[in-house]
A and B are shown apart, each in its own frame.
Chain A
Amino acid sequence: MVSGPATAVLLGGLVVALAVAIVVGIAVGTVDLSVTGVWDVIWAHVTGRTSTVNPLNDEIVWTIRTPRVLLAAVVGAGLSIAGTSLQALVRNPLADPYILGVAAGASVGASLALAYGSAATFGLGVSGAAFAGALISLVLVFLLAQRSGGLGGTRLVLAGVALGYLCTAATSYVELQASQSELVGIMFWLMGSVAGATWGSLGIPTLAIVLCSVWLLLQARNLNALMTGDDAAAGLGVDVHRLRLGLLFVSSLLTATVVAVAGGIGFVGLMIPHMARFIVGGDHRKVLPVAALMGALFLVVVDIGARTVDKPNDLPLGIFTAAVGVPFFLWLLRRRPGGAA
């Protein structure tokens, strides 16, 4: 646990670190730019005097890299918040944004669109097909898990995992049918990437994350109560069924939106919430903002790695999130004080 002022300092530090990481993220890549060069372009756009900057720099900084880096931040924040709310929903420390089968559903949609083109997905593009797949699996999981007005955590997980396997099987079938180049595209999508981000692809995920975060923060006290058990939460005056429905909706919406634009980036949504709790304790009023900022920072840094390790090739983010995250997470796990969970 840390005190309120310490949390404020931590949040301030994370904001600064994120800002620095974003600028560095824009500066490095196939063509390395100076930080001041990056700053000139951003400043020119903020002040509306774009005519003064070098058009090549402007193209790299403003059109290609800035949306990419910002999307990495948005996706990292979204996955972390989705993971935090899912861990509260199913009260399972292994829960991550993919446990409810929503992302597996998205994979089916995306791989169909990538292998057979949008004709196979009723005219939807890759993002649209992924989002539609996510929504369909959300509805299925909800119908499977619901029972006499209740929405049990264990049932949700079991329904989600079972549906996830089914979707993975479907995705595998599509992969086998796909040509070599389509297969690479599908694999790349499945492991997640923010390459090819545009300003246009930022709007919807940002809006979804802001709205969902506000709702979750307003519910933070109830989330804390829910972490101690359904009956205990009911005893504290939480309308448990309604809160669970809200959490299911919000975390699925977040996951679907993020997966639709960035594919399946593993580990962020599992690890970052635990790291945030490890640092600030279980209170969601602290966990949510800290996890959002840590997730954003983490994915911006990981994306820098994905672009620079094997220049000029881009690597999928999923490889890096696991390679960087797993050892750190295991270290945290061993340091963690008492308790079974």
Chain B
Amino acid sequence: MRLTVAGVSVEIDRQPIVSEVDLVVEPGEVVGLIGPNGSGKTTLLRAVYRALRPVSGVISLGADDVWSISARQAARRRALVTQHDGAPVEFSVMEVVAMGRTPHKGLLDRDGHEDRSIVQDALERVDMEWAANRLFSTLSGGERQRALVARALAQQAPLLVLDEPTNHLDVRAQLDLLELLRDLRLTTLAALHDLDQAASYCHRLAVLKRGALVATGAPLDVLTPAFLADVFGVSAHIGDHPLTGRPHISIAPLRRQP
């Protein structure tokens, strides 16, 4: 499903946070949203998943404006994984994943056989079936994120929205999660913190600076040293990764001219 963001501006308490953003995520594409802290990544994503209403512009899932369809209908088209999800202590992993069925169930519907097999499949796809009956709160950070990806899978939505999903994870868990997300081959819009990870896992990057979209394109076309110095205020070197041979971004503080 195509995600179209057209001329979208978002304000919070009358403060403009995102202004006039145009962005398209084509079906099957993984687009990374990057930018410094406070550049509006989370705000733009919140508008995409319908937690904030833009003051102007249109966000469409497929052919429909997200605000012209119900919250439930929107949730059948896009699923969400955020950086911190405070599932309280009392829910089991299975129950958390089963919440992904919420937008598919009417008020009187019970969880049927089909729902259970969808939940089971989702757990297997993220290698978490062993944890089905554990309490969510007893999982490690990396395991929690995998369970939340499983919840998004149980939602069976063609578009996946991720807000810094690797935050607070150790390096191994970060790489595992990104590989899992890549292997899912879903249409994805992900705000990411780590530029190198964004460059290696995304087909395209979209860069926000002070709420405006300043660049979109293939990672290595966008992330030039001059651009990184301008947007992030760092000096960067793009070389070959000594282990993988893929392009690798090394970052250092920007040297001040004497």
Contacts and interface: CB of A to CB of B under 8 A. Distances in A.
Interface in A192-233: 218-219, 221-222, 224-225, 227-232
A272 to B, nearest CB: 14
B13 A222 contact: no
Given A236-B155, A337-B138, A341-B88, A282 B75 contact: no
Query: At the interface, is chain A mostly helix, strand, loop or mixed?
Result: loop
Interface string B73-92: 11110111010011111111
Given A338-B135, A339-B135, A230 B92 contact: no
Interface stretch (B101-109, B207-215, B241-249): B101-109
Interface in B93-135: 95-96, 99-100, 102-103, 105, 107-108, 133, 135
B91 A283 contact: yes
Interface residues of B, number: 39
B72 interface: yes
A234 B50 contact: yes
B82 to A, nearest CB: 6
Given A338-B89, A338-B135, A222 B102 contact: yes
Contacts of A188: none
A235 interface: yes
B90 A231 contact: no
Interface residues of A, number: 33
Given A235-B51, A236-B75, A340-B89, 10 more contacts: A1-B95, A228-B96, A234-B49, A236-B103, A237-B70, A237-B103, A278-B90, A282-B89, A282-B91, A337-B138
Interface in A295-341: 336-341
Interface of B: 13, 46, 49-51, 70-76, 78-80, 82, 85-92, 95-96, 99-100, 102-103, 105, 107-108, 133, 135, 137-138, 155, 161
Contact of A1 (B75, B86, B133, B155): B133
A155 interface: no
Given A237-B72, A237-B75, A282-B95, A231 B51 contact: yes
B138 A230 contact: no
B74 to A, nearest CB: 6
Nearest to A287: B90
Given A235-B161, A338-B137, A227 B79 contact: no
B101 to A, nearest CB: 8
